[in-house]
Amino acid sequence: MKKIVVAMFMGLFIFGGITSLTVCKAYTPNDVAQWAQNEQIRTKIAETITVTKDLVSYFMNEGYAPRDIVMAGLLAGPNNNAGDHVSDINGILAKKTSNNSWQDVASTMGVDQDTYNQYAEKAKNII
């Protein structure tokens, strides 16, 4: 049932012409649909930022690229309260716009260059 609902949503997503929300590179709905269907990518992201695959699917369905989800999750850091963690990731994704880089976002959050480089490398290795 869950797969049917996701498939229906993705159909609306693709045919509705929705494009990437706030990422620097404009991804097509086909890119997003491909990522959302790729179980391996969702699993890697979920393990990297310690969230559920359903949460990763939610962000992908919202139009976020895998790299952006990973960067936001890593910058949010670990959190034992799932609700707070989702809120933290959402807030960080909102800070990333087409006019700034992830390095800019990390810098405004007080993340040092070495830590940022480690996060960027992890995000790069996701796909």
- Reduced to 3 states (helix: H, G, I; strand: E, B; else coil), residue 112 is coil
Q: What is the pLDDT of residue 36?
A: 60
Distance CA 101, CA 39 (A): 27
More confident residue, 60 or 6: 60
Whether 3 has a pLDDT exceeding 60, the answer reads: no
Dump pLDDT digits (tens) for 86-112: 788 999 999 999 999 999 999 999 999
Global model pTM greater than 0.85: no
Q: Domain locations in the chain? A: 2-124
